[in-house]
Amino acid sequence: MPVKKIDVVLGTRPEAIKMSPVVLELRHRENFKVRVIATGQHTDMLAQALAYFSLEADVNLGIMKSRQSLDYVTSSVLLGVGDVFDADVPDAVLVHGDTTTTFAASLAAFYRRIPLGHVEAGLRSFDMGRPFPEEMNRVMTDRIATWWFAPTELAKSNLLREGAAGERIYVTGNTVVDALRAAAERARKPSGPLASLGGAPFLLLTAHRRESWGTPLESICKALLAILELHPDFRAIVPMHRNPAVRDVMTDILGEDGRIILCEPLDYPDFVWAMDNCSLILSDSGGVQEEATSLRKPALVLRDVTERPEAVENGSCILVGTDGERIIAAAESLLSDPEAREKLLERCRENPFGDGLASVRIADALYV
Ligand code: UD1
Ligand code: UDP
């Protein structure tokens, strides 16, 4: 079997967390030569995630600048990744998910007729404005892809409906479960900002979505304050995304409250510990919906629509949007009513996001 040269392109924290298990699995096998190309759409958040898996990028384009525009990221990734492909043409390219790195790298592969594998293919919210621009990024990436690694049967059915060739769709599970298993094995005692929780019950909040910037994010933050008013024994931990559009709002509204720990992004195992040990997760993140489901933790999804309906239908996630009253009411029903909480968790059956062997299935599919 000749050696296949695979370029894995990634740019942001979730791509690093969810593609690291794939890189490690491919590197395990003699018939793949893997090059990790970081676009540097994220800097420190990307490095933090890769470091946890003891990985470094082979090439880093380092494109990030403060408050970067979508045009800037798209064009820099397209040009930069294209040059890297031209210098040493791979046999195949792998991308993940729905970021601007994902789409622009896919386009660079398409322009060179290099076959493309899309990991986490087929997710759809069916609303191009939410999440923005991720829904469009994933639709366009799927249009370009040669192989689709769909995390669930539902994702596969979305792809089939759009005309993807069934024999090149592989239902693998989501690689986040692979990553989560690795992190759980290395579970550690709370340190740093987590240690200062001092054993109190706590809420965990993350928010960063572009469509929530401004008023929706303000209302999320005010809702957190209101929930803490109703539950004075609780504390909250808020690992802030590095985006200044997010930080400025969070710091303004939450910065003065002594019960809230506003901190830097947590290392992956620390964040997993926080998800596992908090009383309630509040998040607009994509990956956190899958992780909360996998850990059977109640989570309020701070969005109006989700491309991960499995998390809501079969998991512990409740779609609440960004309206303050709705967030407070949903939190209240779970924090004050243990029965409601138990009922929610009873619904969780087999993990809809897989068994932690997605990377193995992806490597098997690429072996041919
Ligand atoms: C990006 C993705 C989003 C993904 C998210 C994961 C796009 C359009 N958006 O959103 O889909 O959910 O990553 O976190 O692809 N910054 C830093 N250091 C970092 C990372 C970001 O300072 O390590 C700051 C910079 O000022 C940067 C800004 O955050 O300009 C925005 O980064 P960007 O990648 O454009 O958008 P995200 O909101 O992070
Ligand atoms: N995460 C982390 N540290 C943090 C916050 C999040 O390691 O302080 C992880 C989280 O477990 C998940 C991923 O980052 O795997 C989600 O990233 P993000 O919310 O930035 O992006 P999205 O999933 O919404 O695209």
Compute φ and ψ for 150, nearest 5 degrees: -85, 135
The confidence score (pLDDT) of residue 130 equals 97
Query: What is the distance in A from the centroid of ligand 1 to the CA of 99?
Result: 9
The residue whose CA has the least distance to atom 19 of ligand 2 is: 285
321 inside domain: yes
44 inside domain: yes
Whether residue 349 has pLDDT greater than 90 = no
185 inside domain: no
Query: Tell me: the pLDDT tens digits for 215-273?
Result: 999 999 999 999 999 999 999 999 999 999 999 999 999 999 999 999 999 999 999 99
The residue whose CA has the least distance to atom 26 of ligand 1 is: 66
The confidence score (pLDDT) of residue 187 equals 64
Query: What is the distance in A from the centroid of ligand 2 to the CA of 263?
Result: 14
CATH code at 337? 3.40.50.2000
Q: Say if residues 294 and 276 touch (Cβ distance below 8 Å).
A: no
Question: Is there a single domain that holds both residue 20 and residue 93?
Answer: yes
Question: Is there a single domain that holds both residue 361 and residue 332?
Answer: no
Q: Which atom of ligand 1 is nearest to the CA of 98?
A: 11
Q: Say if residues 261 and 235 touch (Cβ distance below 8 Å).
A: yes
Which residues are within 8 A (CB) of 97 and not within 5 positions of it... i.e. 6 or more apart?
Answer: 14, 15, 18, 119, 120, 134, 138, 286
184 inside domain: no
Question: Is there a single domain that holds both residue 114 and residue 13?
Answer: yes
With cut-offs at 50, 70 and 90, classify the pLDDT of residue 203: very high
The residue whose CA has the least distance to atom 17 of ligand 1 is: 242
Q: Which ligand is nearest to the CA of 307?
A: 2
Question: Is there a single domain that holds both residue 197 and residue 311?
Answer: yes
Domain extent for 246: 192-346
Across 344-365, average pLDDT: 93
The confidence score (pLDDT) of residue 346 equals 85
Task: Tell me if residue 28 is catalytic.
Answer: no
Q: Which ligand is nearest to the CA of 290?
A: 2
Question: Is there a single domain that holds both residue 27 and residue 59?
Answer: yes
The confidence score (pLDDT) of residue 183 equals 86
Query: Which is catalytic among the residues 27, 143, 181, 210?
Result: 210
230 inside domain: yes
Q: What is the pTM of this model?
A: 0.98
Query: What is the distance in A from the centroid of ligand 1 to the CA of 12?
Result: 7
Query: Tell me: the pLDDT tens digits for 104-136?
Result: 999 999 999 999 999 999 999 999 999 999 999
Across 36-63, average pLDDT: 97
Query: Tell me: the pLDDT tens digits for 57-106?
Result: 999 999 999 999 999 999 999 999 999 999 999 999 999 999 999 999 99
Question: Is there a single domain that holds both residue 99 and residue 148?
Answer: yes
With cut-offs at 50, 70 and 90, classify the pLDDT of residue 348: confident
Query: What is the distance in A from the centroid of ligand 1 to the CA of 242?
Result: 7
291 inside domain: yes
Across 20-28, average pLDDT: 97
Beta bridge pairs of residue 318: 300
Query: Which is catalytic among the residues 7, 15, 134, 142?
Result: 134
Question: Is there a single domain that holds both residue 198 and residue 69?
Answer: no
Pocket probe for ligand 1: among 46, 243, 271, 283, the residue whose CB has the most ligand atoms within 8 Å is 243
Task: Tell me if residue 231 is catalytic.
Answer: no
Phi-psi domain of 75 (left: phi exceeds 0; alpha: psi -120 through 50; beta: other): alpha
Question: Is there a single domain that holds both residue 317 and residue 360?
Answer: no
The confidence score (pLDDT) of residue 100 equals 98
Task: Tell me if residue 210 is catalytic.
Answer: yes
179 inside domain: no
Residue among 111, 115, 57, 109 at smallest CA distance from 91: 115
Q: What is the overall mean pLDDT for the chain?
A: 96
In degrees, rounded to 5, the angle at the alpha carbon of residue 130 between the alpha carbons of residues 313 and 218 is 100
What span, in angstroms and rounded, lies between the C-alpha atoms of 274 and 199? Answer: 12
- What is the tally of structural domains in the chain? 2
Query: What is the distance in A from the centroid of ligand 2 to the CA of 16?
Result: 10
182 inside domain: no
Question: Is there a single domain that holds both residue 105 and residue 216?
Answer: no
